Amino acid sequence: MNQIKDNVSLSVSRLHSIVLMDICTVGLLKERESAFNGSDERKKKRITQLDMMVKSGKYQFSFLVAIIEKATDYTHVLSAEELASIFQSDYDRIVDFLGYENMVETREFLSKMIHILMDSRFSMEERAELSLRKSIDLLNYFNTLRVFSTPAKELRFEFAKLVAAEGERLGLGKGYPTIAVCIASIYGCGEARKILKVKKDGSKFNPSNRLGDIMTFYRVAKARHMVYSRISDVPVIFRTEDAALEDLHSYMHTRVIGENANEGSLMNTKCLAPDKLFPALHKDGKCTDPNELKNLYNLLNFIIENQNNEPSV
């Protein structure tokens, strides 16, 4: 991913917030007319929100996260030419709605950026800077634990330690998003459970599909880092039409803190809403077990964002 940051300049403005669209949002925009005239009220509401954002003149819209998502898809591998064709077609179908002046990338720039991202000198895993196989192995392990509901109080942290230890054994860093989402599920986070989709009997579990959503934390972190490398004080917003994923991104925030020639991007994660991420440890917005919450933060190497909502221990 560093090859993009070093070779192209994103067209961003200090006067506009950058909206990083995922594939779901791009898809909704492409079907906006039929969706708005259909029966799905959520889609209508989301299209109306986007329309208001466009009319405000305060936002620029970017394909960057959607491109990274497609470029690192192991299931449907595409060439740079195929990917450029797809996104240029998408651009043509939504630019009239969003407005040329509100796009971060031009049509021509999309092709250039994609060809740099898909540089044949880099493997797909290097592009994504993700330990994909290790994460899939961890998700498969988590499925064997059969944690489909919140365990008893005395078992919660024991399960969390099992997941963290397996992640470490596989070579995943402390607090890696895959580990964090699994542990959030143990502690009753409904959004994490919707993403993981673990069943009581462990059946029909697809770790590759589950990892696709979890990967957005790293895609968004990398995209934000690219924007901030050009202009540091512009607000950057992640936009997806997956309600659970959107909420989960409001509970924890992963960011790039540096680059390492051997390890790639160095990242950390802030816990923005502990009562939402670990609801089993909260009641009426207050922590019921500060020591266990502190132990979770240490286990996940989380940075604390809202000290007023954290325990004093």
pLDDT at 96 over 80: yes
Separation between Cα atoms, residue 192 and residue 313, nearest integer Å: 27
Give the mean model confidence (pLDDT) for residues 62-85: 87
3-state helix, strand, coil in the chain (%, to 5): 60, 10, 30
Give the mean model confidence (pLDDT) for residues 159-188: 93
Average pLDDT for the chain: 86
Give the mean model confidence (pLDDT) for residues 164-172: 92
Q: What percent of the chain has pLDDT over 90?
A: 58
The angle formed by the CA atoms of residues 108, 27 and 237, to the nearest 5 degrees, is: 75
The angle formed by the CA atoms of residues 126, 78 and 98, to the nearest 5 degrees, is: 95
Higher pLDDT, 305 or 307: 305
| Per-residue pLDDT band at 313 (split at 50, 70, 90) | very low
pLDDT digits (tens, 9 = 90+) for 170-183: 988 888 899 999 99
DSSP 259: E
Instruction: Give the global pTM.
Output: 0.85
